[in-house]
Amino acid sequence: MSPALKEHIVAMKLKELQKEEEFIIKLEKMRQAADKDETRRSRWRRRHKLM
């Protein structure tokens, strides 16, 4: 394999990894937001059950 081709393949792999990383971070943020929303909702529910 020529060095240029090797570099190209490495660059492509790095790009893929970066995309995966960004995707994972996005999922994590979404999950945290959902968790926050869920605790807010259950707190609200608890508060209104007492009434």
Rounded to whole angstroms, the Cα distance separating 8 from 15 reads: 11
Q: For the full predicted model, state whether its pTM sits above 0.95.
A: no
Three-state helix/strand/coil letters over 1-51: CCHHHHHHHHHHHHHHHHHHHHHHHHHHHHHHHHHHHHHHHHHHHHHHHHC
Q: Which residues lie below 8 Å from residue 36, measured CB to CB, with a gap of 6+?
A: none
Instruction: Please report the pLDDT score of residue 24 as a whole number.
Output: 96
Report residue 17 as tokens.
């990894």
Mind listing the pLDDT tens digit of every residue in the chain (51 residues)? 899 999 999 999 999 999 999 999 999 999 999 988 888 888 888 888 776
